[in-house]
Amino acid sequence: MNSYGSFPGARPRRLRTTPAMRRMVAETRLHPADLILPAFVREGITEPVPIQAMPGVVQHTRDTLRKAAVEALEAGVSGIMLFGVPEDAKKDAAGTAGTDPDGILQVAVRDVKAEVGDELVIMSDLCLDEFTDHGHCGVLDADGRVDNDATLERYAEMAQVQADAGVHVVGPSGMMDGQVGVIRDALDTIGKEDVSILAYTAKYSSAFYGPFREAVGSSLKGDRKTYQQDPANLRESMRELALDLEEGADMVMVKPAGPYLDVLAKVAEAVDVPVAAYQISGEYAMVEAAAEKGWIDRDKAILETLTGIRRAGAGMILTYWATEVAQNLSAGR
């Protein structure tokens, strides 16, 4: 008599026999609505500028950004996260281009809002690093260290000008202590209670950000280890999570995604707010580079990485493949 609790009676392979069977019993599914497209818009260019370390990704002109937003919307992508790249001459120690109502990021938000309205969730990076001449995420004190509380004042201003431009969600990515609460107060003060905050709750000081720094024309000197999280720490992320929720975060994020799936899973288990993960530039670049050399199957690798992030607990995934993957999912590929 066969024992059905163990082999030979129990044969899990029965549920893997055909594509239809595997699809039916799949525990994790990707959907276009899970995806958010990060996009870069650069001031003063007339044609898109390819990002060498991220094949297929560009710094957009204002016109091509509009087209990218429409393409993402038509593919079923839920949101677009905008990063502004100012002209070098406009960078300064305080990142004033980031709070200029006519700065490139605010202009881009208005452009995309005019193009897609409320049909696509428009998100904006709320950080100073793209706009400072030293490349750090905040203003510096006399000793060259990032001044947390002075930076919060700048973040409050940024939140207000981005909200005035029409953004739906702000994404404070600088990892300053108290940033979510200060931004929430700043938004509410000007009657922008409906603007959501996607907290970069666990943003690690990662080696995988390299290509992104080309994408935003970073002027970074030194590193960000005094404010971004240590890759060795998980409990610290849970403390950051508790603080962000207490301060009013509407959504929370883990960044990077792939190397921190354990953190993502812990965060997802602990909260009742939406959870995002950012598949960052280095994760993208590794797959593209390996595929270019013929070492891996590009399309299968992309889906596998995204499925892993979704399985770990992310309800939203920021990925540079968002539009492409959404198109393929909608087509049944």
Which residues contact residue 199 at a Cβ distance below 8 angstroms, ignoring those fewer than 6 apart?
A: 172, 180, 244, 249, 250, 251, 252, 253
**In the block, residue with structure tokens 């609460």:** 181
> In 10 A of CB 141, how many CB atoms?
11
CA atoms of 256 and 200, how far apart (whole Å): 10
Radius of gyration of the chain (CA): 21
CA atoms of 286 and 208, how far apart (whole Å): 9
Q: Which of 90, 91, 113, 255 is catalytic?
A: 255
Long-range contacts of 288-295 (CB under 8 A, 24+ apart): 288/54, 288/55, 288/56, 292/55
CA dist list (Å): 73 to 58, 115, 281, 321: 18, 10, 22, 14
Q: Which of 91, 192, 203, 221 is catalytic?
A: 203
Active-site annotation holds for 203: yes
CA atoms of 113 and 117, how far apart (whole Å): 5
The one-letter amino acid code at 244 reads D
**Structure tokens, 331:** 């087509």
CA dist list (Å): 170 to 163, 173, 187, 250: 8, 9, 10, 10
Q: Is the peptide bond before 211 cis (omega within 30 degrees of 0)?
A: no
Catalytic residue numbers read 203, 255
